[in-house]
Chain A
């Protein structure tokens, strides 16, 4: 895929479009079909397309796993935090009417925050799932290489001490 110019160009045009569409679905969810769950999945689909066309390691550079994990928890925190905010404002947990004086504006604000939290979590989770599945082969090889290296080092150290390298040989 990396060497096919047609697919590269099409993907370059399409990825930002899909991300924009995800944001449209996220913030237009009050008026039409859509919302945080759908927007998160669509946003993740754009990154899946990036990873498939340009390679997983490039996608990992664009969307680092560290920040992705932060996104996974930040969404849940934003959702829970909205509830805590309404408690601080003197109402029940997740009762948006306390957030603002005008009830409809308060509900809008609450729904916006909560949906954004859901969207953030779902997008990060889906990206994390895809990276974990698609990167499994590389992950195993990488760990195997490290383990082999460590075993070799340990074996060398053991040979220097004149001790047997394997437990089985001790019997």
Chain B
């Protein structure tokens, strides 16, 4: 049982490194957004697997929170891309262009 959890943890670790490489190199900003999003997803997985590995699976709450926060973060970044600001459009002046 423990062996399988170890294998899964190693797989998650390798995927984390790959996602991190994409976040660091990522030619466009969207690569970075996706990479950070998958780092978050992998962290959710890692916490779940580690919880069972450690014998205290009641900490799935944390994984739940991660998933929610990850979603909010991604939506905020996309809003920032589209509008250039997290607040309201201000029509009276020229908009700042997205990066």
Interface residues of A, Cβ cutoff 8 Å to B: 1, 7, 11, 14, 17-18, 21, 25, 32-34, 38, 42, 45, 48-49, 51-53, 55-57, 130, 133-138, 141, 145
Contact = CB atoms under 8 A, between A and B. Distances in A.
A11 B78 CA distance: 14
B86 A7 contact: no
B76 A138 contact: no
Given A1-B83, A52-B86, A25 B61 contact: yes
A145 B92 CA distance: 10
A48 B75 CA distance: 10
Given A1-B82, A134-B87, A137-B85, A14 B71 contact: yes
Contacts of A45: 68-69, 72
Interface string B26-56: 0000000000000000000000000000000
19 contacts: A14-B71, A17-B68, A18-B72, A21-B68, A25-B61, A25-B65, A32-B58, A33-B61, A34-B61, A42-B65, A45-B68, A45-B69, A52-B79, A53-B75, A56-B86, A135-B87, A137-B85, A138-B87, A138-B90
A146 to B, nearest CB: 13
Given A45-B69, A52-B86, A138-B90, 13 more contacts: A1-B78, A1-B82, A7-B75, A21-B68, A25-B61, A45-B72, A49-B75, A52-B79, A134-B85, A135-B87, A137-B90, A138-B88, A141-B90
